[in-house]
Structure 1
Amino acid sequence: MTRRLFGTDGVRGQANSWPMTADVALRLAAAAGRYFRTDKQDHRVVIGKDTRRSGYMIENALTAGFTSTGMSVFLLGPVPTPAIGYLTHSLRADVGVMISASHNPAKDNGIKLFGPDGFKLNDDAEGEIMRLFETDIALAAPDNIGRAMRLEDARGRYVEYAKTTFPNRRRLDGLRVVLDCANGAAYRTAPTVLWELGAEVISIGVSPNGFNINAECGSNHPEVAAQRVRETRADVGICLDGDADRVVIIDETGRVADGDQIMGLIASRWAEQGRLKGNALVATVMSNLGLERFLEGRGIGLVRTDVGDRYVVERMRADGFNLGGEQSGHLILSDYATTGDGLIGALQFLSAMVETKQKASALVHVFEPIPQKLVNIRYAPGTDPLESEAVQEAIAAGERKLGGTGRLLIRKSGTEPMIRVMGEAENLGRLDSVLTNIVETVRQEC
């Protein structure tokens, strides 16, 4: 039986190790190609990537797999993940693919699949592709093999679309913006959008070399941009991650705001404007209790899902909500995008600055977060420390100690071999004591 391919966000792993090898990518593409083939004559797939060196290898393998099942391939080169969702739908393609490990280090890579509607595939579709992956995949006849071609203006198409999400007749004139693109997929598109809207852009993280994506830059390391904001006296800082589906905001003092704060601001503004569908925000179990209390005070609901922006989107689509996201900075604004879009999320924040004429510091810190701590513990793939009786006892003891004053969330990451231990409580000393015991127990089991 083949090992499980799909995690919470597609397929991900270390490049040139299972499952991120060329032969797995080829076979996965052939299985996806067979799954999406219909009776129509023209079958299309769009493939984009971030700036990792291994993207060349995976791109070529995917192209071979798709064309072998009769799919014609449009190669987009380095583009943000949300551009794949947009262009898959715009080009009437059957499937879209993003080659990226998002915020992970350069040694990793991943494959994200999108359906013809521009949304990431659900569990059922991934399960059927996995079933085909494990079978003898029917290949196309010689005269039905697909073609591959470069789409030279892919970045330009996304740039023009992103600008349409900014309020009409508004500009960013007079705003000095530090923009950190994490040496990733948005290193050209994001600076172009902000400059064309009139901002003075101070760009960092825009010199990818194949190995420096997310390295001491981007949304995982906002301290670099924060320092540049202070040095240049910028009005605001924007940090994207490697595939630009996440964003964090930095105010003019250098203070960093995560996705919870940005979602709180947008939700409250949209509610005031009558734009917030269902009068609720969809977020994950990781979002801070302070956000929930902030929204409650404004009569806005908070709907929680499992961790993963895909699950946020699924709940939004099922119940008709138009705003969701994650504390990590995934912002899903379904009026504009089918997946997390860091740039479009940043434009919503900048529009608030322009329309209210307020400083970033007055807008982006909308609530006081409850003390929250997260510890990541690496474990050996193929093991499950959370099944240990000692770990379960430590978690139960921690929950008893916190009582009703806090909460714990201990889970395996869906994107890398990590146990994530998160705790939240108003009493920081009690929280530290609880987390220390759980973390030490998990490490012993690892």
Structure 2
Amino acid sequence: MTRSYFGTDGIRGRANTVITPELALKVGQAAGLVFRRGDHRNRVIIGKDTRLSGYMIETAMIAGFTSVGIDVLQLGPMPTPAVAMLTRSMRCDMGVMISASHNPYEDNGIKLFGPDGYKLSDEVERQIEELIDGDLALRLASASDLGRAKRIDSVHARYVEFAKRTLPRDVDFDGMRVVVDCANGAGYRVAPEALWELGAEVISLGVEPDGTNINRDVGSTSPEALIRKVHEVRADVGIALDGDADRVIIVDEKGQVVDGDQLMAVIGRSWQEAELLSKPAIVATIMSNLGLEKYLSGIGLGLERTAVGDRYVLEHMRRNGYNVGGEQSGHIILSDYATTGDGLLSALQILSVVQRAGRPVSEVCRAFEPFPQVLKNYRYARGAAPSAESVDAIVDAARDRLGKNGRLVVRPSGTEPVIRVMGEGDNLDVVTQVVDDVIAEIGKIGRAAA
């Protein structure tokens, strides 16, 4: 069954065009009806990032939830992983995060969590969609059963304390100069505070949100400002979060970016040595570098690959009992502590490894030499994507050119009308040529079909 509203990570689109007050109201009503159970007062918590449209969407969702008898607890700006954690900790029936992650401020989105703090299954999302398209007016609560709403002000300290407790008590960052870039997003308060409480000297960037500057020239998708600041203040390390703080990248003392693959390698080895891995492997996506796979194999660990998307990584981890996984983009999932990617927790793990090693980040976090990797996009008109069958024939021929030490991944984006082509191998010139040729062939098919 084709889904009308939910994508690979909740509902996302242009604010007040796709994500309208009417839709937000209906999502609140429909989700509230699905999770209204038992004879207790049902409760939902709502967090958001710093986008201007968050006020509009939050207010509409509050109206939706209360109209079907659900009480609402408002958290204000909070990271996505904090909302997931607090949903469980505060014994709520569900959680909501209003965010479009790393997208520009004009976009927004709605992410939903069940009472266990995990994102919803496809089946539950389909139930919510059916109700959105149904007659919700027939399911509204009576005047005496309407829900109530109130703001909770103490949750920032609760999340900071939770983050600190993921490290051993004898670990601190005394003497470490850290630049943290919070993308003018949801982590702008909690991330600097947690690092400071752990003893680091903290220099903050992207901590002045104004409703429209989230992810603008800052954050994990725009690390240039962080690199400049690391050089300027001679920091030991730079940390960049995205808009909802569920992903992280690291910048070493030389200004070199460390991606999620390297971070997973560092955490995987550290947890292996501490005997913390539940199984001798970690989980990543088809986009992770072949160098990561070979590195892990060399230290006796496997790499399980999934489709792109942190929800698929997490599903594989839960189904098969793994406790470390993530994406090259910096979504790192440490399931002993969190039910989703958590940029702050991942950064704390990396900093603790660096502190114990007594060596610079450039040495600790360069676990392997990555294979040359080229990623390019073919953009098509909406509704006019080339057929999978026509693309498969092109891909099969291109893979032969890369040989046994190469990989080619061609996939449609789950969030925009593009086909992503990623090539990887031991010869950059060959990889680049193969990717360009595949893009050109897909373009011919697309133009012929238009």
Residue 393 of structure 1 and its aligned partner are, at CA, apart by 4.0
Two-structure CA RMSD over aligned residues (Å):
1.6
Offset from partner CA, 1:397-429 (integer Å, 9 cap, x none): 322322323111111222333322111111211
Offset from partner CA, 1:133-190 (integer Å, 9 cap, x none): 2222311111111111101112121111111112212211110001100111001110
Where does residue 103 of structure 1 map in the other structure?
Answer: 102
Where does residue 319 of structure 1 map in the other structure?
Answer: 320
Distance in 2, Cα, partners of 1:190 & 1:415: 28
Q: Amino acid of the residue matched to residue 292 of structure 1?
A: E
Contact 2:248 2:344 in 1 (8 A): yes
Where does residue 410 of structure 1 map in the other structure?
Answer: 410
Where does residue 55 of structure 1 map in the other structure?
Answer: 54
Contact 1:47 1:99 in 2 (8 A): yes
Q: Amino acid of the residue matched to residue 289 of structure 1?
A: L
Contact 1:22 1:61 in 2 (8 A): yes
Q: Compared with structure 1, are the counterparts of its residues 54 and 2 closer, same or farther at alpha carbon in structure 2 (3 Å cutoff)?
A: farther
Distance in 2, Cα, partners of 1:342 & 1:374: 24
SS at structure 1 position matched to 2:359:
coil
1:302-381, aligned counterparts within 5 Å?
A: 302-381=303-382
1:206-221, aligned counterparts within 5 Å?
A: 206-221=207-222
Q: Compared with structure 1, are the counterparts of its residues 366 and 351 closer, same or farther at alpha carbon in structure 2 (3 Å cutoff)?
A: same
Residue 264 of structure 1 and its aligned partner are, at CA, apart by 0.3
Distance in 2, Cα, partners of 1:22 & 1:334: 34
Distance in 1, Cα, partners of 2:379 & 2:217: 20
Distance in 1, Cα, partners of 2:226 & 2:442: 34
Offset from partner CA, 1:94-120 (integer Å, 9 cap, x none): 110101111111111111110000111
Distance in 2, Cα, partners of 1:61 & 1:412: 32
Q: Amino acid of the residue matched to residue 290 of structure 1?
A: G
1:133-152, aligned counterparts within 5 Å?
A: 133-137=132-136, 138-152=139-153
Q: Amino acid of the residue matched to residue 436 of structure 2?
A: T
Residue 353 of structure 1 and its aligned partner are, at CA, apart by 1.5
1:377-396, aligned counterparts within 5 Å?
A: 377-387=378-388, 389=390, 391-396=391-396
SS at structure 1 position matched to 2:124:
helix
Contact 1:267 1:323 in 2 (8 A): yes
Q: Compared with structure 1, are the counterparts of its residues 443 and 64 closer, same or farther at alpha carbon in structure 2 (3 Å cutoff)?
A: farther
Deviates more, 1:125-134 or 1:280-289: 125-134
Residue 394 of structure 1 and its aligned partner are, at CA, apart by 3.2
Where does residue 290 of structure 1 map in the other structure?
Answer: 291
Q: Compared with structure 1, are the counterparts of its residues 13 and 442 closer, same or farther at alpha carbon in structure 2 (3 Å cutoff)?
A: farther
Deviates more, 1:234-243 or 1:435-444: 435-444
Contact 1:181 1:206 in 2 (8 A): yes
Deviates more, 1:287-296 or 1:391-400: 391-400
Q: Compared with structure 1, are the counterparts of its residues 83 and 4 closer, same or farther at alpha carbon in structure 2 (3 Å cutoff)?
A: same
Distance in 2, Cα, partners of 1:396 & 1:283: 23
Q: Amino acid of the residue matched to residue 201 of structure 1?
A: V
1:163-242, aligned counterparts within 5 Å?
A: 163-242=164-243
Per the normalisation by structure 1, the TM-score is 0.96
Contact 1:178 1:203 in 2 (8 A): yes
Query: After TM superposition, where is structure 1 displaced by more than 4 Å over at least 4 residues in a row?
Result: none
Contact 2:196 2:202 in 1 (8 A): yes
Deviates more, 1:127-136 or 1:225-234: 127-136
Contact 1:27 1:65 in 2 (8 A): yes
Where does residue 129 of structure 2 map in the other structure?
Answer: 130
Q: Amino acid of the residue matched to residue 344 of structure 1?
A: L
Contact 2:402 2:431 in 1 (8 A): yes
1:39-78, aligned counterparts within 5 Å?
A: 39-78=38-77
Q: Amino acid of the residue matched to residue 197 of structure 1?
A: L
Where does residue 399 of structure 1 map in the other structure?
Answer: 399
SS at structure 2 position matched to 1:45:
strand
Contact 2:377 2:421 in 1 (8 A): yes
Where does residue 158 of structure 1 map in the other structure?
Answer: 159
Contact 1:181 1:190 in 2 (8 A): yes
Distance in 2, Cα, partners of 1:377 & 1:100: 26
Offset from partner CA, 1:238-279 (integer Å, 9 cap, x none): 010000000011111111110000000110111111111111
Distance in 1, Cα, partners of 2:31 & 2:383: 26
SS at structure 1 position matched to 2:284:
strand
Q: Amino acid of the residue matched to residue 50 of structure 2?
A: T
Contact 1:2 1:134 in 2 (8 A): no
Per the normalisation by structure 2, the TM-score is 0.95
Contact 1:371 1:426 in 2 (8 A): yes
Correspondence 1:431 to 2:448 = no
Distance in 2, Cα, partners of 1:2 & 1:428: 39
Q: Amino acid of the residue matched to residue 66 of structure 2?
A: T
Contact 1:410 1:419 in 2 (8 A): yes
Residue 388 of structure 1 and its aligned partner are, at CA, apart by 7.5
Contact 2:3 2:126 in 1 (8 A): no
Distance in 1, Cα, partners of 2:370 & 2:378: 24
Deviates more, 1:378-387 or 1:123-132: 378-387
Q: Compared with structure 1, are the counterparts of its residues 351 and 237 closer, same or farther at alpha carbon in structure 2 (3 Å cutoff)?
A: same
Q: Please, which runs of 5 or more residues in structure 1 have no aligned partner?
A: none
Offset from partner CA, 1:305-332 (integer Å, 9 cap, x none): 1111111111111111111110000010
Deviates more, 1:313-322 or 1:260-269: 313-322
Where does residue 94 of structure 1 map in the other structure?
Answer: 93
Q: Please, which runs of 5 or more residues in structure 2 have no aligned partner?
A: none
Distance in 1, Cα, partners of 2:152 & 2:303: 41
Contact 1:398 1:434 in 2 (8 A): yes
SS at structure 1 position matched to 2:85:
helix
Distance in 1, Cα, partners of 2:288 & 2:389: 27
SS at structure 2 position matched to 1:220:
coil
Contact 1:394 1:437 in 2 (8 A): no
Distance in 2, Cα, partners of 1:413 & 1:179: 30
Distance in 1, Cα, partners of 2:356 & 2:124: 42
Where does residue 261 of structure 1 map in the other structure?
Answer: 262
Residue 39 of structure 1 and its aligned partner are, at CA, apart by 2.5
Contact 1:9 1:415 in 2 (8 A): no
Where does residue 250 of structure 1 map in the other structure?
Answer: 251
Deviates more, 1:238-247 or 1:424-433: 424-433
Correspondence 1:25 to 2:24 = yes
Contact 2:3 2:129 in 1 (8 A): no
Distance in 1, Cα, partners of 2:386 & 2:235: 46
